[in-house]
Structure 1
């Protein structure tokens, strides 16, 4: 729980502060006087004032931050002081200041993805399992052990990369072209996958799995052996990679355990790879009893799952290009999902609140630095996209008023702004209520 709260507070603090720094940086470039930049909310714990008169503050509640600007000049202010007021700036300058916040979040996502590319990541190879009968993948001819090479002509380098490339096309529906290499190392072959537009819900089925595309099961590798056990007596060693058992080729860890359990006292043929050599041995599981008293087989070995892994490490330029491309793709995907929710083609269960976000923050933090950085990038994109929505009270709502001002040639009246703000507050309240409701449903279901 402590790690979850810490990871959530750090994520929200970083992302919102970066957002506000975007407003601050452009405001300063446009000559707007910034009165305060606060990291956190509530009681001020520490502060200092710089030579431009901006108060930099650290506040007690570390869940974001805010920028306070001089909106209107004080009574009796001279021309130079009046020129520093936000509302005295040109339409282009005001729009730039407002737009800078969401763009800062998108820029942060680019930097985070770029950092992941430079750091390098160890990811599962894109080896596919046998698709379930009747799924689009089965109908397209995907076979067990196929290595996915390309999606719609774009090379994929790992399973994580493959999921990224496949998710959007599968959700949209239509034809997807795949290039796969068979498990026996033969020449690549092209496949055409036809899917129907589907829904994505946090607690719903995985769209890729529903299409029949799933990562191959981990292969069993032997760990510590029980001294004098059946495995040791059969000549097995720690580190052996199991390729077949009892006539089952390329078994998963679960399948291997099932085969051993089902054959107490019966000899089983076991083919393993040891270093570069392939060996066939015979092991006889010793009878034991499970919790219900039924006879099961045991060979006295710790079985571990292993998947082929690939390391993805890019140079600075390629990492930056990947960061930009991934941010653009995720931004487009987020906008499409919002559009589908508006017209009823996607479930409103996709709207998540702070409880779900905190849960994901904790989960990714426990998995390691790389997943947590990826989580930060996704949430940063979400904050940027959300703030661009044309809802009064959000940055996008201000930009909507500025667009109307540009078309009409004069600013929107104060009365219209107040009405818009009331509508915006109602919409945001409804959105927040839906998010909290979804969070509670996931928490108690």
Structure 2
């Protein structure tokens, strides 16, 4: 991805640097050749040449670009499970994924980690973004996901004779788990996504207290992935599934819904980040009935919501790390609503706005393994900067309003926001 070759100063706004520190009033950020060279009080800026481009934050907020840590680029208007893998041909899904990537950038998300993708579209989309062929967040790709046969993601009945090869690699035993990871190695992924547990969405067979992979399968996945320098994460709701993932040396946990004291101690000992992705549960409860969601599934989402919120509070209070991101792309939780997750964690979970913003920037960058380059406003880092018209610390919901986004900058180049040519306002 190209970086700017000029000098730009962003001023007349408070600085929220992504570390959780208190904002700097009357702040400024200086960008030279795509990297940050000054962060601090506007009065302390070094002398600027007449050629320095100036961006006015309009008294709003200057902050790091947001990180969507659980991004499903190939999900779109999903109303039932089959919509995830057989509704459209892969050619059309690829185009839709590119639209989702563009939309994420327009929403202020300058980086994202894929939480799973139809085929390995996200792998190639990452290459297209890095080569400046399409706009989108800096990506970490996961490709296809791994689940035990008969588990949560094994929904196509055998009589269809189509399997799950486009979205899920189904495994029976440790040997098949190793084979699945080796396929993903060849595909070029960075993260291996697995399904150790079920979900409220499958209330009858694989609910949120059900295991969908054995420990031996999970350990084989990690052993093989780590041998090839890949990281492993997993959809973990049931307590035993979270514990198994930690004992198998997973690198991250998705959801981490029902966490007891023993499991929390394991998590903290290994400093493994968790991406709760909880707003999806709230959206399912509120909007799911409009799409015919059964009451037992809604009840399961309610239990998941309450358990996940409590676990998230405990993790952060104990010094653990949370990333922000969610299962966007469902009909009741569409792409473009990413920042609703942030408001939800303030208003429902009860976290402080600066802590949530740290989770959505610094911790997100750590999950991507790019904390030395992005995630905070600091000298020497890439100038992935978000400029917003408003005080997001007192009203974090402002981040949901794209009309309030002044500039979305990657490597010092403004890619979206008011300062760019107006884009089509779309939602998939």
TM-score normalized by structure 1? 0.24
Higher relative contact order (CA 8 A, sep 6+): 2
**Larger gyration radius, structure 1 or structure 2:** 1
TM-score normalized by structure 2? 0.25
